[in-house]
A and B are shown apart, each in its own frame.
Chain A
Amino acid sequence: MRKRLKRAVTLLLAASMTAGLAACTQNDSKTDRTAAGTNQEQKTESSGNPQNETAKEEKVTIRFSWWGSDTRHEATLKVMDMYMQKHPNVTIEGEYGAFDSFYQKLQTQLGGGTEPDIISVDYKWVSDLTAQGNLFVNMNDLSERIDMSGIDMDFAKIYGAKGDYLIGLPVGVNGMGYLYNIDLLNQYGIEPSDNWTWDTLLENGKKLQEQTSDKHLLYNHADHWVYMMKAMLKQMNGNNLVLDDYTPGFSVEEMTRIFSYERQLVESGTVPPFAEGVLYETVYADQNPNWLNQDLGIFPTSSSLVPGIAKASNFELSTFRYPVMENAVNPGILVTPSVFFTISANSKYPEAAADFINYMLNDSEAIAVLKDTRGIPANDSAKQQLVDAGVIDNKVSAMVSQALTGAGAAENGPSLNSEVLVLLKDYVQEVGYLQMTPEDAAEEFRMELVSLLDTIKP
């Protein structure tokens, strides 16, 4: 009798294990299916027009995901409505939220095959995503459905393609810059200009602190410390944080200089103490009470966030160029696509999705509603339309043009890896909380980075 039980248990375990392995192999076939799906897309797309008629008849529901603030949500929802009225057989469901957890959710969706049809993708994720197979429809195959003539395809390729595989279309152009409270800087005698160096920032920070210790000149959001350091590095030696061959793009000495600068910013009171800012590290100025209460002078930001911040701030804002150090090897200012519109390779209605993307990028009514909520349009004709109508927020266009004067070398895939960024952020915190000296932090960071790169090298 005992033997029977033992046998039953062994069978049980064996069954579970086989089931487990079956789960593994089925995972493989899923990835293959994805690739096959893309191939099929290519075939149907090239047959051209006849598709159009049939696509218009059937009832279609497509899901569209994006991140942003209310201004962007309202505009996007309105455009969706407009499109749905013109195409009554199409229903578009919006899925939107904050940037903060968007990527996590996307990963989960991609893994489960529950991703939307049209997906907003940030340039930082492209390298990771393309490494995992052909998850999106190759935009180069949709050139007949979507008018791409106004888009700078080279710009699109730099950040959005792996070889000939273009995962999406850039919607807007973002530039990094300094957004500032005009009155505050004025009041304390700080002069904004497009020629700030890092020294200028430090000097002015001290100047502000001397006059009033409650206020601080600048606040770096958690992601922004990373941008700042990457920019400084490029200015120092022209390198990306991680080189293409997965080795660090800096020496310990160079990193020490960067961390020392961070420490100086904290110690001089140019930035608020880290402990104070911790609750706002992942949100933007529009949700930061210190900014809204006018205790902060400058908020480094990407241009696409400016409209949302301006709406929430009840004081006048303006922009000036991101600091560049003297004798910079490369000006290093980040100019990137604000977002890519992509179509999932698993989408049941890629044609309908492509049509809607085309509408958003090229239709003049849509452009008039979407305006610059996703940055200055990457599509030249769209940009021109908005400029002519005078509706581009001049802060946004100013910031972008200021950034363009110092546009830096493009970011590469390895420098955008999520674990690399988390690692750097951790050390930023250690230095910022004054828990580690810049020298120690730089040395440890480089060591850990090498170790990490070893594990993520393809």
Chain B
Amino acid sequence: MKKNDHQAVAYLFIMPWIIGFLVFQLYPFIASLIYSFTDFSLLKSMKFIGLRNYIQMFTRDRVFFKSLWATIKYVIIAVPGKLVFALLIAMILNMKLRWINFFRTIYYLPSILGGSVAISILWKFLFSKTGTVNTLLAHFYIPAQDWLGNPNLALVTMGLLVVWQFGSSMVLFLAALKNVPSELCEAARVDGAGRIRTFFNITLPLLTPTIFFNLIMQMINAFKEFNAPFLITKGGPLNSTYLYGMMVYENAFLHSKMGYASAQSWILFLLILIFTAFTFKSSPYWTFYEDGGEY
């Protein structure tokens, strides 16, 4: 009796989420899969065409692979860059320093602004041919670069935007570092381990769960990126920054190919799933959970 009541109450509490999930997440999720097998635009009626969208994507779409590759490159540049930097700075700030709060605030500030429109405007200005960055480099006699105009460089410039916002990951690492028991480090020091040894053998392993989750979330965010290419480079030059998110948007709302865009979004989802699964699968080899790791 009591158990059933207990359960009923639980369901009552969960109910809003269930409704929300069904209507706003599960339904669109399945619907988009269905759409991916059709040809339809906002104004035309829906026509079932089977796998044609997928076939077309892989055989006839010139930009598809370019965009896919650009997105993967972007993830590879941006995510490790951000995490490594975040970890580094967190390590430094973890030492008993004065003004740590001040630095932490300054470093965190860019993250708050996220991929906002204001920041995109800013980035466009700073990195234009006659922009601030080049002017600064000129002071050091480094020749001006075409940060946003050179197809080889544009993607890096966008990656820099992500790295600039390392503050959020940094705060996470800081919190995790606080949880590393200082006794362990002391013990290692007593045993004669140098700073670097301590880091690699004690601290880093204990940080791996945080690194793991950071990696997954940052990766997913990077795959989804839309604002930066749309606002700063419009996918150019030469489609080198035509990230996947923007491609899906243009196919859906510019070329009116919603079925096709849905198919593309599903491929993105599968891609993220693969990368995530791979990370999960590899985690036992490098992630160390103090409590055995049950989540």
Contacts and interface: CB of A to CB of B under 8 A. Distances in A.
Interface of A: 12-13, 16-17, 19-21, 23-24, 27-28, 31, 103-104, 107-108, 110-112, 128, 132-133, 135, 274-279, 281-282, 289, 418-419, 422-423, 426, 429-430, 433, 435, 448, 451-452, 455
Contact of B254 (A23, A107, A278): A107
Interface residues of B, number: 39
Nearest to B251: A419
Interface stretch (B25-33, B218-226, B267-275): B25-33
B45 A28 contact: yes
Given A20-B31, A104-B253, A132-B41, 17 more contacts: A12-B22, A17-B34, A20-B30, A20-B35, A24-B40, A24-B46, A27-B40, A31-B43, A107-B42, A111-B41, A111-B43, A275-B149, A281-B234, A422-B255, A429-B239, A451-B60, A455-B60
Nearest to B47: A24
A135 B271 CA distance: 38
Contact of B237 (A13, A27, A429): A429
Contacts of B38: 24
B63 interface: yes
Contacts of B26: 12, 16
Contacts of B35: 20
B44 interface: yes
A55 B243 CA distance: 50
B256 interface: yes
Interface of B: 22, 26-27, 30-31, 34-35, 38, 40-46, 56, 60, 62-63, 124, 128-130, 146, 148-151, 233-234, 236-239, 250, 253-256
Given A108-B42, A418-B255, A455-B60, A278 B236 contact: yes
Contacts of B256: 107, 111, 128, 132
Nearest to A128: B256
A31 B124 CA distance: 41
B182 to A, nearest CB: 48
Contact of A276 (B62, B149, B239): B149
Given A27-B46, A110-B42, A112-B42, A430 B124 contact: no
Given A104-B253, A132-B43, A16 B237 contact: no
A223 to B, nearest CB: 13
Contacts of A135: 43
A12 B25 CA distance: 13
Contact of A103 (B45, B148, B238, B254): B254
Contacts of B42: 107-108, 110-112
A433 B239 CA distance: 12
A279 B124 contact: yes
